[in-house]
Structure 1
Amino acid sequence: MTKIYAIANQKGGVGKTTTCVNLAASLVATKKRVLLVDLDPQGNATMGSGVDKSELEETIYDVLTNRADIADCLVVSEEGKYHVLPANGDLTAAEVEMLSMPNKERLLGQVLQQIADSYDYILIDCPPSLNMLTLNALAACDGVIITMQCEYYALEGLSALIGTINQIHDLLNPKLRIEGILRTMYDPRNSLTNDVSAQLHEHFADRVYRTCIPRNVRLAEAPSYGQPVLVYDRQSKGALAYLALAGEIIRRNELGASSTPMNSEVAQ
């Protein structure tokens, strides 16, 4: 059964796109069929997958505004070996157009259902804000993978995000859950990192992934070459971490891990 995950956090620079691209490539390495949905007008996930956003004739913008069928807009990441529903700056206009469309919160979910059976995993790279595009992602997915740095302000942002997730769970998507919390740019030598990590474990228990994504130069360099780090440097710490994350996600699904109740009261 297809799993649809939104990679989300309203804070920018916390590794959402890096996670989306590298988790997609790592899942493919385990023989899974993967679709990456770029829902960010910046198009970074598209470019990081080796697809030139400036040369695209049709994108997710055309899908959401009923200008094209989703099957006609999919492209293959030659580097990552997964499919991409790409984005570029045109997507900025989609949010305005969607406001006047019926069922505007469910547009993405409706189009993904047309092709969902072709994939084992669909990963949605959300923009760094809680806007109509992110709302569509949360209404369409089974679970949210929250990427965050272990710092004080990240906890404040996490509290707001969980409040939004709870609201969408109640109003739009009763199957929505926190799939997992992924600690990115992780440095265990930092005492604040360890303090925040401990608080996450206290409040979210097994929803916190055991895998942490370290600060890694090769991981930071890979997007400039339009490659997942698994292609750029398979032996790097970043590549090994994302392979471990893919394995952890697959094991959770195979074990049918029960959902931890969502809690909007995060320690500050």
Structure 2
Amino acid sequence: MHIKIISIANQKGGVGKTTTAINLSAALAIAKKNVLLIDLDPQGNATTGLGVKQEGQGSYNLLIEEDVLLQDILKDTLIDGLKIISSSIDLAGAEVELVNLRNKEFLLKSKLEKSDLSNLDYIIFDCAPSLGLLSINALVASHSVIAPVQCEFFAMEGLVRLMRTISMIQSYANEALYMEGILLTMSDRRNNLSRAIEEEIRENFGELVYKTVIPRNIKLSEAPSHGQPALLYDTNCLGSVSYVMLAKEILDFSDN
């Protein structure tokens, strides 16, 4: 298989983007794929959630420094086959530093083209919850987008905005970008609203919505504070099992 580059994106915060980036990356690595997670959120939650320190060179250097390539700044994680390019608060300044550069939306794409990706099956970007230059760079460099959507009242609104963003990126920077899938997160099927939102999204987006639904799960919430993906923190919890199922769904679709 060729390398697959996926942005985990939604302009709405608190929908489970970083949880998805960490645990999907871990599940793909456990399925014997070579995965690189690039943390593009200045908060650096994907970095600390994988037990990696926010120090040394990371995604800020990748974007700002001309001679820094991916293979120069990879860090190991607790999972074989999963590497990370870490984030730090410096990344918040990158938006300002990039603003006057020519081709500023294409910096990440051009870095990927110059880097050695031969050992990788997947690159996953954990995007910030905003449509700034960092997220635009990720979308321009990606083949596809996975959109985590919380099963709550304003979910459709966030999705419609994201679809509009994807169209905009397609129109001027990355014609081939497509929606890999919509992932329903923080679902509580005992709750009528949660069930109703799921039905509405499936009705509107059909096949684009993954069969796998990520439940509200305390172990998923606890794992990052221990610097571990849920799949290591508690392999058998509902959250871990759901992300393994999601990885299987993505791999089965890629194989077809």
Range of TM-score over shorter length: over 0.9
SS in 1 for 2:240: helix
1:177 and 1:79 map into 2 onto residues whose CA distance is: 29
The residue number in structure 1 matching 2:56 is 57
- Asked whether the equivalents of residues 34 and 81 of structure 2 are also in contact (C-alpha less than 8 Å), the reply is no
1:187 and 1:81 map into 2 onto residues whose CA distance is: 32
The residue number in structure 2 matching 1:264 is none
1:82 and 1:105 map into 2 onto residues whose CA distance is: 27
Query: CA shift at 1:69, angstroms?
Result: 2.9
Q: In the alignment, residue 226 of structure 2 is paired with which amino acid?
A: Y
State the Cα deviation string for residues 235-267 of structure 1 (Å, max 9, x = none).
111110000000000011111xxxxxxxxxxxx
1:6 and 1:76 map into 2 onto residues whose CA distance is: 21
The residue number in structure 2 matching 1:93 is 93
Corresponding residue pairs, total: 253
Q: In the alignment, residue 75 of structure 1 is paired with which amino acid?
A: K
State the Cα deviation string for residues 49-85 of structure 1 (Å, max 9, x = none).
11011xx121111110125332221101124641101
> What pairs with 1:1-268 in structure 2 (closer than 5 Å)?
1-53=2-54, 56-66=55-65, 68-79=68-79, 81-113=81-113, 114-255=115-256
- Asked whether the equivalents of residues 49 and 79 of structure 1 are also in contact (C-alpha less than 8 Å), the reply is no
- Asked whether the equivalents of residues 37 and 126 of structure 2 are also in contact (C-alpha less than 8 Å), the reply is yes
- Asked whether the equivalents of residues 46 and 86 of structure 1 are also in contact (C-alpha less than 8 Å), the reply is yes
1:147 and 1:247 map into 2 onto residues whose CA distance is: 17
Identity across matched positions, percent: 46
Instruction: Kindly report the root-mean-square deviation, in angstroms, between the aligned alpha carbons of the 2 structures.
Output: 1.2
Q: In the alignment, residue 150 of structure 1 is paired with which amino acid?
A: C
1:143 and 1:110 map into 2 onto residues whose CA distance is: 17
State the Cα deviation string for residues 196-253 of structure 1 (Å, max 9, x = none).
2112112211110000111111111100010001110101111100000000000111
1:152 and 1:235 map into 2 onto residues whose CA distance is: 30
Q: In the alignment, residue 146 of structure 2 is paired with which amino acid?
A: I
Q: Which moved more, 1:64-73 or 1:180-189?
A: 64-73
Distance 1:89 1:153, change over 3 A: same
2:126 and 2:116 map into 1 onto residues whose CA distance is: 18
- Asked whether the equivalents of residues 79 and 228 of structure 1 are also in contact (C-alpha less than 8 Å), the reply is no
Q: Which moved more, 1:74-83 or 1:14-23?
A: 74-83
SS in 2 for 1:10: coil
- Asked whether the equivalents of residues 13 and 129 of structure 2 are also in contact (C-alpha less than 8 Å), the reply is yes
Q: In the alignment, residue 153 of structure 2 is paired with which amino acid?
A: Y
Q: Please list every run of 5 or more consecutive structure 1 residues that lacks an aligned counterpart in the other structure.
A: 256-268
Q: Please list every run of 5 or more consecutive structure 2 residues that lacks an aligned counterpart in the other structure.
A: none
